[in-house]
Structure 1
């Protein structure tokens, strides 16, 4: 049976309740938080996050955030830990245990096993007098006065506070380790940032038989045939040692047609551009893109330190790779 309810007002009350719970967390960021960070920073193994129920879901996310920001971490279900997965935890690891009550049976059961291993234990609980908090090397206080749930039953404000505190740990460790955008990209190679920061010119450039290259004496008409065949809208001009001498592009062709030159007799050397922009194969594709945008061009010849042609990269290749 439905009841009349103002959904917007209900949402606002929930958000305010959780916001207030986060505000009250701030004064508790003290020496214990610093101690927890230091333990995790000194960890030679991995941070193993454990939690049951909703705390487990939050723990899973915290583990993922830690792992993607430079602190190796993974989640272990406490129930599975008692049935073999304890073998995943070593003395070199640090265990981060989440439990609002601090007395979750599946977590309490792990305490003597962790003590025997000598694995440091950081707890995140809303009850400083609980078995988990008392056994931990450091307890991070996640106490909330009430849940956002009007019945004060469903984990809402308490899980939000735990999630925020987990993010705070991850970011504090990120900053302590000097984690860079390149490091982040390495953890996210499939994302757009990863492609921008990891993909190099050599990964997407055209090489070998795909390259449009002609000699200085090549008639303009033959050069146009090469441009058409290779489909890159340009050709490079090189000597017998593959040294780059110049380029001729579709844009150059339009200028040539305005001059009414004889396509059959005019050598490409007469109309090519000699001061052309180049890149090296190890350059990031994103850097090559910047050069193209700055100079309003769509192609770049890839050369080595001896100015020998190694490839050609086209704007479409960069777009197709998802760098843009």
Structure 2
């Protein structure tokens, strides 16, 4: 019979356990951060000087952490990929070249699969950066650089399940990736190139010229035409607005669905009134070379749903919020 069946009330709180786990792991990260030294700098220098890729290895839970570190490095300007140590011993070692650097993760520093690879890695002349929790381990002693990720205790109450140790390894991997990112001068635009399918990629790679309506699709009328013609142009082009230009083709205004609602309140003859009499002069515009995300900001700040597009002062296009939504820039 367990405690619940016996009707015994247990003094247990999930949130208290969660806080204890996070406190232990936060303390472990702080302890490792406090003892970072020149070894970390050397590891970064080896990776910056690498003409190939950073090969990241680990078994078990360390392998899961290694995969994440490889993915983070690859997306932040440091070519990297994960190689499973067990598979490496059965052919995948051929994926590694003499121009690479190895980052090996093992809390004990004695993972059989990693230790077994050391002769082959050394034969290739590869620099090895070891990340272990044992400074006297085989992996630590045989590496070019050793990063100490020892923790005082695991967050697991049995002090067995890798918890604090994997959190520290992951944090140190992030630290390596970010240090390399800054050293390379990696920018948001570079990140976007690695993430073209993501929201950030679209926001940083899609320009106004990529989305604007131009040529025959651009709604535009002369300022001396009757309002009726402007309304027909709006209907034909379906953008809810039309640009208004003078005889020289220069942009002088815009007429929108909102202007139409205001016009109807004035009892105006749409066949006799020129569009110039009811248009909005000095309309909001954006350059074709600007990012589409900037068009969103302009529309939101001006509380409008459309923008006319110019290129060096010349009207070249138009776009509205629906275009930005379809492109998933918003």
| TM more than 0.5 | yes
The equivalent residue for 2:196 is 189
What root-mean-square deviation, in Å, do the aligned CA atoms of Structure 1 and Structure 2 show? 2.3
Cα 1:81/1:243, change in 2 over 3 Å: farther
1:82 positional shift:
1.5
What is the CA–CA distance in structure 2 between the aligned matches of 1:156 and 1:11, rounded to whole Å?
12
What is the CA–CA distance in structure 1 between the aligned matches of 2:115 and 2:240, rounded to whole Å?
68
> Please, which moves more after superposition, 157-166 or 82-91?
82-91
What is the CA–CA distance in structure 1 between the aligned matches of 2:245 and 2:30, rounded to whole Å?
67
Query: Please, which of 312, 319, 324 is the counterpart of residue 313 of structure 1?
Result: 319
The equivalent residue for 2:116 is 109
Cα 1:235/1:145, change in 2 over 3 Å: same
Query: Please, which of 56, 74, 80 is the counterpart of residue 73 of structure 1?
Result: 80
Cα 1:217/1:12, change in 2 over 3 Å: closer
What is the CA–CA distance in structure 2 between the aligned matches of 1:31 and 1:318, rounded to whole Å?
48
What is the CA–CA distance in structure 2 between the aligned matches of 1:87 and 1:240, rounded to whole Å?
70
The equivalent residue for 1:31 is 38
1:323 positional shift:
2.8
Q: Tell me the alpha carbon deviations over residues 72-126 of structure 1, each in whole angstroms, 9 at most, x when there is no partner.
A: 2111111111122212211221110001111111111221111121221100011
1:227 positional shift:
1.0
Query: Please, which of 43, 49, 65 is the counterpart of residue 42 of structure 1?
Result: 49
The equivalent residue for 1:220 is 227
Q: Tell me the alpha carbon deviations over residues 262-301 of structure 1, each in whole angstroms, 9 at most, x when there is no partner.
A: 2112232443344222222221012122222333322111
Q: Tell me the alpha carbon deviations over residues 147-174 of structure 1, each in whole angstroms, 9 at most, x when there is no partner.
A: 2223222211211111111111112222
What is the CA–CA distance in structure 2 between the aligned matches of 1:2 and 1:70, rounded to whole Å?
54
> Please, which moves more after superposition, 180-189 or 124-133?
180-189
What is the CA–CA distance in structure 1 between the aligned matches of 2:249 and 2:143, rounded to whole Å?
67
The equivalent residue for 1:20 is 27
1:144 positional shift:
1.9
What is the CA–CA distance in structure 2 between the aligned matches of 1:149 and 1:278, rounded to whole Å?
59
SS in 1 for 2:28: helix
Query: Please, which of 258, 261, 278 is the counterpart of residue 285 of structure 2?
Result: 278
1:35 positional shift:
0.8
What is the CA–CA distance in structure 2 between the aligned matches of 1:200 and 1:232, rounded to whole Å?
19
SS in 2 for 1:109: helix
Query: Please, which of 204, 210, 214 is the counterpart of residue 217 of structure 2?
Result: 210
SS in 2 for 1:24: helix
Cα 1:259/1:12, change in 2 over 3 Å: closer
SS in 2 for 1:175: helix
- Mapping 1:186-265, distance limit 5 Å: 186-238=193-245, 243-265=250-272
User: Are 2:27 and 1:10 equivalent residues in the alignment?
Assistant: no
- Mapping 1:99-138, distance limit 5 Å: 99-138=106-145
The equivalent residue for 2:6 is none
Query: Please, which of 105, 112, 119 is the counterpart of residue 98 of structure 1?
Result: 105
Unaligned runs of 5+ in 1: none
What is the CA–CA distance in structure 1 between the aligned matches of 2:87 and 2:256, rounded to whole Å?
64
Cα 1:2/1:300, change in 2 over 3 Å: farther
> Please, which moves more after superposition, 180-189 or 1-10?
1-10
> Please, which moves more after superposition, 67-76 or 57-66?
67-76
1:180 positional shift:
2.0
Unaligned runs of 5+ in 2: 4-9
What is the CA–CA distance in structure 1 between the aligned matches of 2:172 and 2:11, rounded to whole Å?
33
